[in-house]
Amino acid sequence: QVQLVESGGGLVQAGGSLGLSCAASGSFFSLNSMGWYRQTPGKQRELVAVITSSGNTNYADSVKGRFTISRDNAKNTVLLQMNSLKPEDTAVYYCYVQENRRLAPIRAHWGAGTQVTVSS
């Protein structure tokens, strides 16, 4: 089973920066893609950024050029560096991890979420 522990987030002024970290622990074969989603009240959860096990990345258009996702495979950790933050980035950010399993389909895991608030 995979446990995800998120850290980072908080309150920042517009134009500022924040970093999010998510560490996966537990007993598992290996990890596939890792990433971050976000959600605001009344809206669907949306992709922010994802990184594959080989390092390929994909970003939402709204964060391209401002956010950077990275991962440390040795530590089973995914990071999200958020720069030039805007009030519209305010949301609960969720860590997302795909677990590779032997002779079984990939399983998705979600973190509990961490609040990011950007004040104008």
DSSP 88: G
- Which tokens go with 107? 């399983």
Decide the pairing of beta strands 46-51 and 57-59.
antiparallel
Give me the sign of the Cα torsion angle 116, 39, 114, 48: negative
Residue 42's pLDDT is 94
**Phi, psi angle pair for 65, to nearest 5°:** 85, -10
Residue 1's pLDDT is 86
Beta bridge partners of 96: 35, 110
Q: Block means of pLDDT (10 residues each) for the chain, length 120 residues? A: 94 98 94 97 97 97 98 96 98 97 93 97
